[in-house]
Amino acid sequence: MKTLSPYLLLVAVAIALDQWIKHLVETTLAFQEKVDLVPFLALFRTYNTGIAFSMLSSFGDTGLIVVSLVVAAFVLYLATRTTPGQVIARVGFALIVGGALGNLIDRAVYGHVIDYILFHTPVWSFAVFNLADVFISVGAALVVLEEFVAWRREPKPSND
C-alpha cells in the first residue's frame, strides 16, 4: 500500500483541483458567455450531459454513472497490473482515475459535467472541456508513452 500512496494522493489532488476550479467557474462565470483569454483560448461555461463530446447522452444520468464506474474500475484493474518500475504508467492511471472521478462527481451531484475551456479560431472551435478531461487525456498519453518506451527497450530477437 505504501508504494501506491503517492498515486492515491495524486488522484485526490486531481479530484480536489478539478472540483475547486469547477466551483469557481459555477460561481463566477456567466453561463454560455465567452470570455476570451488569448485569441485562441476562452472560458465558456456550459454543461455536458454525455461523455466525451456529448456521446452517450441518451444513456441518462444513471447509465452514464454506471459506465463511468465500470471504466474507472477497469482502469484501476489495469493500474494494479503495473510494476513499481512503471512510474509513468502509474502516474497516467492516477490522472485518468482522478479525472474520471472528478467528472463522475459532477454527474452524480448535478446531472451533467461542468465544462469551461474552449479552444477556437474565428471560424472553428473545439469541443468545450474541463480540467478533468485534461487529466484523462494526459494520463492516457502517459500510459501509451510508458508502453512505447517499454516496447522500444525490449531486446530484439537475433537472426542467428
Beta strands in 19-145 (DSSP E): 35-38, 41-48, 113-119
Q: What is the largest CA-CA distance in the chain?
A: 69
d(CA 138, CA 118): 17
Asked if 94 and 139 count as a contact pair (C-beta separation under 8 A), the reply is: yes
Task: Look up 61 and say whether it is catalytic.
Answer: no
Q: Pick the catalytic residue from 18, 61, 106, 133.
A: 133
Among this protein's residues, is 133 annotated catalytic? yes
- Name the catalytic one among 18, 36, 115, 160: 115
- Where in the sequence numbering do the catalytic residues fall? 115, 133
